[in-house]
Amino acid sequence: MKITDLLQEIKECQFTFEILPPLKGQKAQEIFDNLDPLMEFKPPFIDVTYHREETIYKRLDNGLLQEKVVRKRPGTVGICAAIMHRYDTETVPHVLCGGFSKEETENLLIDLNFLGIENVVALRGDQAKHESYFTPHREGNAFAIDLVRQIKDLNQGNYLDEDLQNTMSTNFCIGVAGYPEKHFEAPSLNTDIEHLKAKVEAGADYIVTQLFFDNSKYFAFVDKCRAAGITVPIIPGLKPLSTKRQLSILPQIFHVDIPDELVIQAIKCKDNAQVKQLGIEWCIQQSKELRDAGVPVLHYYSMGKSHNIYEIASAIF
C-alpha cells in the first residue's frame, strides 16, 4: 500500500521508524531481534536506509597501500523483503543518486517492483568519505530531483532504453528528505525550501524530515513549506539522544542544533545511562507535542537500537 494512502486512512498518530541494514557479515537475525519488540506498536511501515560504497586503503606487506571499494552495509533490498515476509508490514527502501548509474538505479527499481515494494525514499546521498563535495556518478543522477524524475518516468513505463516496447509501468509512491534546520549545503532555508518544492513538483508524494530536537523548528518549517505552496504530508523525524558524545557527533553529522536546555542537562549526567534516560524523556515530550498537534505519523531514527525507541513508543502509542 502506498504511504500516501496509508496516511489518509490514519485516524490516530502512528509509530514508524527507520533501520539500517546489517553490516556486511552480520546476521539478519540481529535486525529481527531489534524489530520484534517494536512490532507490538504495529508500525504501518518501516524505512530501510541505503549505503553507498566507500573507498578504503589497506596497507600491504610491502608497505604499499591498496585501494579498495567496499560497501559496508549492503542488503537494503533483501532486508526489506525479509521484513515484509516476516511481519507483513510495508517497507520503504531508500534509493540514492550517489554511487549509482541511472541504469543501476533502474534495475534496482525493477527488483523492488517485482518484490511488491510500492514506496521508496529518493535521496541524493552524501559525498563519498574520500570526497570533500558530493560528486555524482558520471552516468548517474546529480540531485534527488533527478532521481524523482527517473522514478516518475518508470511509473509511466518510460525506461532508459527508449526502444523497449510494451513496457510494464511501476507504481512507486515517492518520499523525499526535508530539513527543518536547512540542508548544510544550501545557502539559505528559503532556497532549500524552493529546491524541496521543486522535488514535490517533479513528483514526490511526501516529505520526511531530518531529525530535530526542537519542535518549534519543525512547526516553523511546515509553516514555511505551506506558505511556499508545498501541500504534501511532512513526516517529522525524531531521534533520542543516547550518549554524551552525540552532543558533538549529531550536529557534525546531521547539521542540527541541540537546544541549550538539553545540552545542559546532558552535561550534568553522571554516565551514558543517565543521558539515555534524559534522551528518552526529551523525545517523549517532543512526541507528545507533535502528536497533539495532529501529525499522522511519528518517524523514529532507531539506528539499529530498539531499547530507547521501545520506551518512547510505550509512552506514546
Site residues, ligand FAD (CB under 6 A): 49-50, 52, 94, 96, 121, 123-126, 143-145, 177, 183, 185-186, 192, 195, 199, 208, 210, 237
Distance CA 272, CA 293 (A): 31
Q: Which is nearer to ligand FAD, 253 or 267 (CB)?
A: 253
Q: Which is nearer to ligand FAD, 30 or 131 (CB)?
A: 131
Alpha carbon 186 to chain centroid, angstroms = 19
Give the cell for residue 67.
585501494
CB of 268 to ligand FAD, least distance (A): 30
Q: Which pairing describes strands 173-178 and 65-70: parallel, antiparallel, or unpaired? A: unpaired
Helix (H, G, I), strand (E, B) or coil at 242: coil
Give the cell for residue 86.
516476516
CB of 125 to ligand FAD, least distance (A): 4
- Of the CA atoms within 13 Å of residue 99, those in its CB half-sphere come to 19
Distance CA 314, CA 299 (A): 14
CB of 124 to ligand FAD, least distance (A): 3
Pair 95, 109: CB distance under 8 Å: yes
Q: Which is nearer to ligand FAD, 96 or 232 (CB)?
A: 96
Q: Which is nearer to ligand FAD, 173 or 278 (CB)?
A: 173
Distance CA 241, CA 238 (A): 10
- Of the CA atoms within 13 Å of residue 231, those in its CB half-sphere come to 3
CB of 64 to ligand FAD, least distance (A): 30
Q: Which is nearer to ligand FAD, 182 or 291 (CB)?
A: 182
CB of 149 to ligand FAD, least distance (A): 12
Q: Which pairing describes strands 54-59 and 65-70: parallel, antiparallel, or unpaired? A: antiparallel
Distance CA 282, CA 265 (A): 10
Q: Which is nearer to ligand FAD, 176 or 266 (CB)?
A: 176
Q: Which is nearer to ligand FAD, 145 or 230 (CB)?
A: 145
CB of 176 to ligand FAD, least distance (A): 6
CB of 65 to ligand FAD, least distance (A): 26
Residue type, 254: F
Question: Which residue in the block uniquely carries the three cell numbers 597501500?
Answer: 65
Give the cell for residue 164.
523497449
CB of 163 to ligand FAD, least distance (A): 30
Nearest to 156 by CA among 168, 164, 145: 168
Nearest 5°: CA angle at 5, between 206 and 40?
Answer: 95
Q: Which is nearer to ligand FAD, 200 or 312 (CB)?
A: 200
